[in-house]
């Protein structure tokens, strides 16, 4: 199962734990394949900097994401989200033919799906994983 995790899921897992952290645990256990892109990893790094995370820790998280995911390079520009910054998640999912995007962002969740990719809240995805 191929999954794109929105930035808010990763950030929530790092700082607040809960369901997003359980999703990262499932990734570590090999329950799904993480799909990401350079743009997504860059956005996560930028948000971690906004939280004043030390650079060394940001580099650890970048390495974790890069080593535990398939990095795609979207070639098709997709513009379907009200917030254009969220299109990068659709583009990554579309490129990889991902099964799911997991997000807490209303601009993505309102879509419910894009082509073959379902867009779920963290709780819904965790329940699906069992």
Name the domain count of the chain. Answer: 1
Residue 109, domain CATH: 3.40.50.1010
Range of the domain at 47: 2-129
Query: In the beta sheet, which residues pair with residue 114?
Result: 117
Whether the pTM exceeds 0.75: the reply is yes
Residue 23 scores a pLDDT above 90: yes
Q: What pLDDT shows up at residue 100?
A: 98
Q: What pLDDT shows up at residue 82?
A: 83
Percent of the chain clearing pLDDT 70 (strictly above): 100
Question: Cβ distance 13 to 106 under 8 Å?
Answer: no
Q: Which pLDDT band holds residue 130 (cuts at 50, 70, 90)?
A: confident
DSSP string, the chain: -EEEEPHHHHHHHHHH-HHHHHHHHHHHTTSSEEEEEHHHHHHHHHHHHHTT--HHHHHHHHHHHHHTEEEE---S-----SSGGGHHHHHHHHHHT-SEEE---HHHHTT-EETTEEEE-HHHHHHHH-
Q: Which pLDDT band holds residue 93 (cuts at 50, 70, 90)?
A: very high
Q: What is the pLDDT of residues 108-122, one digit of tens each?
A: 999 999 999 999 999
Q: What is the mean pLDDT of residues 41-66?
A: 96
């Amino acid at each position: 199962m191929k999954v794109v995790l929105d930035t808010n899921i990763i950030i929530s897992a790092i700082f607040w734990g809960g369901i997003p952290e359980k999703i990262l645990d499932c990734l570590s256990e090999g329950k799904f394949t993480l799909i990401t892109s350079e743009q997504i990893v860059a956005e996560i790094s930028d948000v971690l900097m906004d939280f004043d995370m030390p650079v060394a820790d940001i580099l650890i998280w970048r390495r974790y994401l890069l080593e535990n995911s398939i990095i795609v390079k979207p070639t098709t520009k997709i513009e379907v989200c009200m917030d254009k910054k969220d299109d990068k998640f659709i583009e990554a999912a579309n490129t990889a033919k991902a099964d799911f995007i997991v997000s807490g962002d209303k601009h993505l969740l309102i879509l419910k799906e894009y082509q073959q990719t379902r867009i779920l809240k963290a709780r819904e995805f965790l329940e699906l994983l069992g």
